[in-house]
A and B are shown apart, each in its own frame.
Chain A
Amino acid sequence: MSDHQDAVLEVNHVHRDDVGARMGMWLFLLTEVLLFGGLFLVYAVYRYQYPDQFRIAGMELNTSIGTLNTIILLTSSLTVAISIAAIQKGNKLLSVIMLSLTLVMAFMFLVNKFFEWETKFSHGIIPGSKEMTSKPNGQILFYGLYFVMTGLHALHVIIGMIILAFMLVFVIRNKITEGNYVKLENSGLYWHLVDLIWIFLFPLFYLVQ
C-alpha cells in the first residue's frame, strides 16, 4: 500500500486486521449456530413428544433428492475451499472457475429443493391448508418444522450465493488477491456453515426413522 492510501485509511478509521476479521466472522457464525440451535431444540422436543408420527411423516420425504442435494452441497464446500487455496497460491483463473462452480452447485441445490417442495404442495402438504390441519398433530409439527428449517436453510443458501457472487467479482477485479484474501476466506466460512447445517438437517428429516 502506498503512503497516500495509508493516510486516507487512517482518517476513515478503517484499518486492516485479518485476524480480527476472522475472529468477527467466527463470532457471527456462532450466532448462526445458535439461531438454528433454537430450531433443533424445538425439533428435539417434538420428536420426543410425537415419535411415531414423526416417523410416519418422515417416510413421505424423498430420500434420493435429499441425498443428491447433500452430495451437491458437500462438493460445493470443496470447490470453495479449493478456490481459497488457489487464490492463496496466486492462481486467479482456478479460483474463478472454482467459485463459479460453487455458484452453479448452489443453484442446483435450490432447483432440487424447489421441485421437492413443489411435490409436497401438489399433495396438499401446505402449512395452514385444510388437508394439512386434518392430519394428526405430530405430522403437522413435522411438516411445519420441515418447511421452516429447510426454508430458513434455503434462505441462507441464497444469501451465501449473493455473497459468493460478490466475491467472484472481487476476484475478477483483483480486489481479492494473493496478499489480501480474508474476504473470500470469511465467505468460504459462511458457506461451510450453510453446508454444516444441512448435514444436520438431512439425517433429522430424511434418514432417522
Chain B
Amino acid sequence: MANGTIAMTDLPVPKAEKSFFEQSTNKHSGILSWLLTTDHKRIGLMYMFGIISFFLVGAIIGLLMRLELLSPGGKIFSAQTYNSLFTLHGVIMIFLFIIPGIPAIFGNFFLPIQIGARDVAFPRLNLLSWYVYIVGAILALTSLFLPGGPIDTGWTFYIPYSVRSGSNVSLAIFAAFILGFSSILTGINFVTTTHRLRAPGMSFFKMPLFVWATYATAWIQIIATPVIAITILLVIIERAFGVGIFDPALGGDPVLYQHMFWIYSHPAVYIMILPAMGVVSEIIPTFARRTIFGYKQIAYSSLAIAFIGYLVWGHHMFSSGQSDTSNWIFSLLTFLVALPSGVKIFNWVATMYKGSIDPQPPFLWVMSFIVLFSIGGLTGLVLGALATDIHLTDTYFVVAHFHYVMFGGTGTIFIAAFHYWFPKMFGKMYNLKFAKIAVVTYFIGFNMLYFPKFIMGYLGMPRRYYDYLPMYTPYQRISTYGSWILVSTLFFIVGYFIHAYFRGKKATSNPWGGVTLEWHIPSPPPVENFKVIPVITHDPYDFSQLKEMKDE
C-alpha cells in the first residue's frame, strides 16, 4: 500500500462482479439507490441527465432566436422577449451546461478510474455538489415564472442596468451564485483526489492528460469562482438595499463591476475549454495508435493556460474606459495565452503524424474540433488586438468567435467524449454509421450557422438586437438555415445514443484499443472499479501494453 491511511486495497471484494448499474452503494434500491449514492460513476450520470436536458433547452432557445432573425422586421417576438431569450440562452448554456459539462460528467466518471482509484476523495461531498447544482437549476427555472418576468440583462449582468431592471435579476443571479458553490466543491474534490488517491506507481507525469486537464480546471474553479460569488452577492445587496457599491448614482463604479465579473468569467472560459483539451489528448493517441507527442509540454501547457488565463480578463473591457496602459498590457497577455493553446494544437497534429490512424467517430469529432477551435482561436487574436477590437466590439464577430471556441471547441468535444466513452459507461455500442453522418451534418450546420456572423460582425451588425437592416438578410438566412441543420443533428445524436442504450450491441471492455486505465476494466465498470488497485509501471499512452491487455 502506497498511502498508509487509505485502507482500501486489501479489503474483500464482492464475489460475482456486478456493474455499477446493478449494484447499489447504499441499502436502497431503485431511484433512492441513485439519489443517495456516493458512487462517482452514478453521480456522473446524474449530472449527465441534468446537463444534457439544459443543453437541449438552451439549444432550442437559440433556435428560437435564429427564427426571429430569419427576416428583418422583428415579427415573432417583442424586443423584451428577445432580450430575455438571449439572456436565458447565455445563462443556461454557460452556468448549467458548459461550465459543469465535461468535468461534472466525464471528470466524475473517469478521473478516479484513470488514476486507479475507487472513488473521489470526498464521495459524500460529491453527492452534495450534485444537489447544489440541482437547487441552482431549480432556482434559475423558478425565476422565469415569477412576476417580474425572466431576467433580461444579458448573461454578463452589467451594472447599472442589472440594478435598474424590473425583471427577476436577483433570483436568477442567486441561482448562478449557488451553481458556483457546486463548481467550487467539485474543484476541491478533484484537486484532493488527484493528490491523494493516485494508484501506486502513478507519478504526476504518468497521469493521463485528461487528468492533468481536469486537475488544472479544478484549480481555476477554486481560485476564480469565489470572485464571481462575491460580485453576484454585491449586485443582489445593491438591488435589495441600495448600498451604492456599484451604483454610479451613489458613487459606485460600474467599471469596477466589469473588472470583478471578468476576473471570474474569463478564467471560466478556461474552465470550459481545458477539460475539452484533455479529452482531445485522450482520443488522438488512441486512434493514432501512437504515444502522445510532447506529453510534458501538453501537461504544462494546461497549467500555463490556467495561470495566464487568470490574468487576461481586461480584454473584455477595451472599450469600457480602462486606461490605455491596462489595455496594452491585457492585449499582450491575451496574445501570450495563445501560445500554450498553440503548443497543444501542434502536439496533437504531431501525434497523428506517421501514426496508424483509425478514423472512428470519436476521432472524426476531434478533427471537426481542431478545425472549428482553430478558427475560434485565431479570430480571438483579432479581438485581442486593440485596433481591430475597437471596430468589432459588441458585434456579431464576438458572438461568432466565442461560439466557435465554446460550442465548436468545448461543445464538439463534449459530443466527442460521449462517442469515445459511451461504450465504457453503458456497455453498449452505438451505430457507427449514424455517428459518421452526424459529424458531417454537424460540421456543415455549425459553419453555416456561425461563419456568416463573422462577416456580419465585420460589416457592423451589433449583437443582441432582435432586428436588423435588410442588407444583412442573406447572411442571417444562411445562419438560420444552419441552426436548423445543427439542432436536428443534436437531436439525431441524442436519438441514436438512446437507441444504443436500449438496443445497441454489447460493447467489449476495450472497443477502441485504448490503454489508459478505464480500458483495463469491464464495460460498464463494476462498483469498485478495480478488484485490486493496479500498480502503474507504464507511461499513460504506451501502446505496447495492448498485447498484454489482450491476455488479461
Nearest CB to that of A129 among chain B residues?
B242
B245 touches A133 (CB 8 A): no
A24 touches B122 (CB 8 A): yes
A10 touches B245 (CB 8 A): no
A140 to chain B minimum Cβ distance, whole angstroms, is 5
Q: Give the residues in chain B near A34, CB-CB below 8 Å.
A: 223, 226-227
Q: Which of B7, B118, B250, B260 contacts A133 (CB under 8 A)? A: B250
B124 touches A14 (CB 8 A): yes
The number of inter-chain residue pairs (CB within 8 angstroms) is 135
Of the listed stretches A38-46, A85-93, A111-119, A169-177, chain B binds: A38-46
A159 to chain B minimum Cβ distance, whole angstroms, is 13
- Contacts A11-B25, A30-B222, A38-B227: A19 and B196 contacting too (C-beta < 8 A)? yes
B122 to chain A minimum Cβ distance, whole angstroms, is 6
B39-64 at interface with A (beta carbon < 8 Å) = 39-40
A141 touches B244 (CB 8 A): yes
B226 touches A45 (CB 8 A): no
Of the listed stretches A73-81, A96-104, A144-152, A193-201, chain B binds: A144-152
B355 to chain A minimum Cβ distance, whole angstroms, is 38
The 0/1 profile, CB within 8 Å of B marked 1, for residues 143-170 of chain A is: 1110110001000000000000000000
Q: Which of B118, B124, B222 contacts A27 (CB under 8 A)? A: B222
Q: Is A17 an interface residue (CB 8 A)?
A: yes
Nearest CB to that of A126 among chain B residues?
B241
A13 touches B39 (CB 8 A): yes
B241 to chain A minimum Cβ distance, whole angstroms, is 4
Q: Which of B229, B233, B251, B527 contacts A141 (CB under 8 A)? A: B251
Q: Is A179 an interface residue (CB 8 A)?
A: no
Q: Give the residues in chain A near B122, CB-CB below 8 Å.
A: 20-21, 24
- Bound Cα distance from A21 to B121, whole angstroms: 8
A128 touches B243 (CB 8 A): yes
Nearest CB to that of B252 among chain A residues?
A141
- Contacts A11-B25, A23-B195, A133-B250: A42 and B243 contacting too (C-beta < 8 A)? no
B188 touches A28 (CB 8 A): yes
Q: Give the residues in chain B near A30, CB-CB below 8 Å.
A: 222-223
Q: Is B343 an interface residue (CB 8 A)?
A: no
B189 touches A24 (CB 8 A): yes
In the complex, which of the residues A7, A28, A31 has the most CB atoms of chain B within 10 Å of its own CB atom?
A: A31
Q: Is A2 an interface residue (CB 8 A)?
A: no
Q: Is A209 an interface residue (CB 8 A)?
A: no
B230 touches A38 (CB 8 A): yes
Q: Is B11 an interface residue (CB 8 A)?
A: yes
In the complex, which of the residues B123, B189, B251 has the most CB atoms of chain A within 10 Å of its own CB atom?
A: B251
Q: Is B119 an interface residue (CB 8 A)?
A: yes
Nearest CB to that of A10 among chain B residues?
B11
- Contacts A13-B39, A24-B192: A31 and B244 contacting too (C-beta < 8 A)? no
Q: Which of B118, B195, B245, B527 contacts A145 (CB under 8 A)? A: B245
B291 to chain A minimum Cβ distance, whole angstroms, is 31
B256 touches A42 (CB 8 A): yes
- Contacts A127-B243, A140-B250: A31 and B225 contacting too (C-beta < 8 A)? yes
Q: Is B231 an interface residue (CB 8 A)?
A: yes
- Contacts A45-B256, A127-B241, A144-B244: A12 and B26 contacting too (C-beta < 8 A)? yes
Q: Is A52 an interface residue (CB 8 A)?
A: no
B542 to chain A minimum Cβ distance, whole angstroms, is 29
Q: Is B372 an interface residue (CB 8 A)?
A: no
Q: Is B8 an interface residue (CB 8 A)?
A: yes
B224-278 at interface with A (beta carbon < 8 Å) = 225-227, 229-231, 233-234, 237, 241-245, 250-253, 256, 260, 263
B244 touches A137 (CB 8 A): yes
B25 touches A35 (CB 8 A): no
- Bound Cα distance from A35 to B222, whole angstroms: 11
A52 to chain B minimum Cβ distance, whole angstroms, is 13
B121 touches A20 (CB 8 A): yes
Q: Is A131 an interface residue (CB 8 A)?
A: no
A31 touches B12 (CB 8 A): no
A17 touches B222 (CB 8 A): no
Nearest CB to that of A34 among chain B residues?
B226
B243 touches A147 (CB 8 A): yes
- Bound Cα distance from A180 to B488, whole angstroms: 56
- Bound Cα distance from A41 to B478, whole angstroms: 46
B242 touches A31 (CB 8 A): no
A15 touches B8 (CB 8 A): yes
Q: Which residues of A contact B (CB under 8 A)?
A: 6-7, 10-21, 23-24, 27-28, 30-32, 34-39, 41-42, 45-46, 49-50, 127-128, 133, 136-138, 140-141, 143-145, 147-148, 152
Pick the 10 closest A-B CB pairs, nearest first. Answer: A137-B251, A144-B243, A128-B242, A38-B230, A34-B226, A13-B119, A35-B226, A127-B241, A20-B196, A13-B123
Complex A-B: 23 CB contacts under 8 Å:
A10-B12, A12-B25, A16-B7, A17-B5, A20-B195, A20-B197, A23-B196, A24-B188, A24-B189, A27-B187, A31-B222, A32-B226, A38-B226, A38-B230, A42-B234, A50-B251, A128-B241, A128-B242, A136-B251, A140-B243, A141-B245, A141-B252, A145-B243
Using A42-B245, A137-B244 as known contacts, list a sample of 14 further A-B pairs with CB atoms less than 8 Å apart, ordered by residue number in A. A6-B11, A7-B12, A14-B38, A16-B7, A17-B3, A19-B196, A20-B197, A30-B222, A38-B260, A41-B260, A138-B251, A141-B252, A145-B245, A148-B234
Q: Which residues of B contact A (CB under 8 A)?
A: 3, 5-8, 11-12, 25-26, 38-40, 118-119, 121-125, 184, 187-189, 191-192, 195-197, 222-223, 225-227, 229-231, 233-234, 237, 241-245, 250-253, 256, 260, 263, 527-528
